[in-house]
Amino acid sequence: MLAVLEDGIDCFMKYASSQYPSDREVFKEAYGWIMLSNERWLFSFENICLILDMDAGHIREGLLGWLRRQGLSPPVGK
């Protein structure tokens, strides 16, 4: 579970500033996964955080703050 969480966060941060369409798509997917509120899916961001005893809201806030500090915006349409 930790590897899934790490990969999602890594994709979010690694591709947030990319100008390549394929990289931007990876960022959009990671952003959507992190921001989606879905407790029914075992591998949802929220459930993984719950299983790992991490605060999903706090992690989201941190990632959005990081995005703003980089001068970047959330993907369009998400």
pLDDT digits (tens, 9 = 90+) for 37-77: 888 889 999 999 999 999 999 999 999 999 999 999 999 86
Residue 76 lies in a domain: no
User: Do 48 and 60 form a contact (C-beta atoms < 8 A)?
Assistant: no
Domain ranges, residue 32:
2-69
- CA atoms of 18 and 26, how far apart (whole Å): 10
Scan for tokens 């890594």, then name that residue: 10
Residue 47 lies in a domain: yes
Which letter does DSSP use for residue 19 in this model?
Answer: -
pLDDT at position 77, please?
A: 67
pTM, entire model:
0.92
Overall domain count for the chain: 1
